[in-house]
Structure 1
Amino acid sequence: MTIDSLIEDINVRSTDVLITPAALKDELPLSESARKVVLSGRQTIRNILDGKDHRLFIVLGPCSIHDLKAAKEYADRLKELAAKVEDTLYLVMRVYFEKPRTTVGWKGLINDPDMNDSFDIQKGLHIGRKLLLELNEMGLPCATEALDPMSPQYMHDLIAWSAIGARTTESQTHREMSSGLSSPVGFKNGTDGGLKVAINALLSVANPHSFLGINQEGQVAIINTKGNAYGHVVLRGGDGKPNYDSVSVALAERELDKAKVPHNIMIDASHANSNKDPALQPLVMDNVSNQILEGNKSIVGLMVESHLKFGRQDIPKDLSQLEYGKSVTDGCIDWATTEEAVLKMRDKLKDVLPKRRQSV
Structure 2
Amino acid sequence: MATTLITGMHEPRIDRMQPLTPPDLLHRELPIDEVRRTAVTDARTSVAAVLDGHDDRLLVIVGPCSVHDPLAALDYATRLSGLAGTLGDDLLVLMRVYFEKPRTVVGWKGLIYDPRLDGSGDIDLGLRTARALLLRVLDLGLPVACEFLDPLLARYTSDTVAWGAIGARTVESQIHRQLASGLPMPIGMKNRPDGSVTTAVDAVLAAGAPHVHAGTDTTGQPVIAHTTGNTDCHLVLRGGSRSGPNFGPVAVEDALRRLRSADLPERVVIDASHDNSGKDHQRQAGVVGEVARQVESGQRGIVGLMLESFLVAGRQDIVPGRPLTYGQSVTDACLSWEATVATLDRLALAARRRRGTRPAGAGHAVLGARHA
TM-score range, shorter chain: over 0.9
1:267 counterpart = 2:270 = yes
Which letter maps to 1:279? Q
Deviation of the 1:352 alpha carbon? 2.1
Give the whole-Å Cα distance in 1 for the aligned partners of 2:102 and 2:200. 18
Equivalence for 1:350: 352
Equivalence for 1:83: 85
Give the whole-Å Cα distance in 1 for the aligned partners of 2:355 and 2:240. 29
Unaligned 5+ residue runs, structure 1?
A: none
Contact 1:37-1:137 at 8 Å conserved across structures = no
Equivalence for 1:237: 239
- Secondary structure at the aligned position of 1:316 is classed as coil
Contact 1:57-1:90 at 8 Å conserved across structures = yes
Residues 85-128 of structure 1: per-residue CA shift (max 9 Å, x gap)? 11111100000000001111001000110111111000001000
Contact 1:88-1:353 at 8 Å conserved across structures = no
Give the whole-Å Cα distance in 2 for the aligned partners of 1:2 and 1:24. 24
Instruction: Say which is worse superposed, 340-349 or 120-129, in terms of deviation.
Output: 340-349
Equivalence for 1:124: 126
Deviation of the 1:351 alpha carbon? 3.6
Contact 1:268-1:302 at 8 Å conserved across structures = yes
Which letter maps to 1:210? V
Residues 279-319 of structure 1: per-residue CA shift (max 9 Å, x gap)? 01111111111011222110001000000000000001025
Counterpart pick for 1:314 among 289, 312, 317: 317
1:31 counterpart = 2:36 = no
1:212 counterpart = 2:214 = yes
Give the whole-Å Cα distance in 2 for the aligned partners of 1:11 and 1:71. 36
- Secondary structure at the aligned position of 1:323 is classed as coil
Counterpart pick for 2:162 among 149, 160, 163: 160
Equivalence for 2:260: 257
- For residues 2 and 333 of structure 1, do their structure 2 counterparts lie closer, same or farther at Cα, with a shift above 3 Å needed? closer
Contact 1:132-1:158 at 8 Å conserved across structures = yes
Counterpart pick for 1:188 among 179, 187, 190: 190
Equivalence for 2:369: none
Residues 260-288 of structure 1: per-residue CA shift (max 9 Å, x gap)? 10001000000000000000111111111
Equivalence for 1:94: 96
Which letter maps to 1:294? S
Equivalence for 1:334: 336
- For residues 280 and 44 of structure 1, do their structure 2 counterparts lie closer, same or farther at Cα, with a shift above 3 Å needed? same
- For residues 216 and 290 of structure 1, do their structure 2 counterparts lie closer, same or farther at Cα, with a shift above 3 Å needed? same
Which letter maps to 1:30? I
Which letter maps to 1:146? F
Equivalence for 1:202: 204
Give the whole-Å Cα distance in 2 for the aligned partners of 1:176 and 1:270. 27
Contact 1:54-1:354 at 8 Å conserved across structures = no
Deviation of the 1:354 alpha carbon? 6.2
Equivalence for 1:13: 15
Contact 2:298-2:357 at 8 Å conserved across structures = no
Equivalence for 1:277: 280
Unaligned 5+ residue runs, structure 2?
A: 1-5, 364-372
- Secondary structure at the aligned position of 1:54 is classed as coil
Give the whole-Å Cα distance in 2 for the aligned partners of 1:80 and 1:186. 25
Residues 148-183 of structure 1: per-residue CA shift (max 9 Å, x gap)? 101111100000000110000000000000000000
Give the whole-Å Cα distance in 2 for the aligned partners of 1:156 and 1:126. 14
Contact 1:55-1:354 at 8 Å conserved across structures = no
Give the whole-Å Cα distance in 1 for the aligned partners of 2:7 and 2:20. 21
Contact 2:313-2:336 at 8 Å conserved across structures = yes
Give the whole-Å Cα distance in 2 for the aligned partners of 1:32 and 1:85. 26
Equivalence for 1:43: 45
- Secondary structure at the aligned position of 2:151 is classed as coil
Which letter maps to 2:321? D
Deviation of the 1:3 alpha carbon? 5.1
Give the whole-Å Cα distance in 1 for the aligned partners of 2:173 and 2:54. 31
Give the whole-Å Cα distance in 1 for the aligned partners of 2:118 and 2:9. 33
Percent of pairs with identical residues: 45
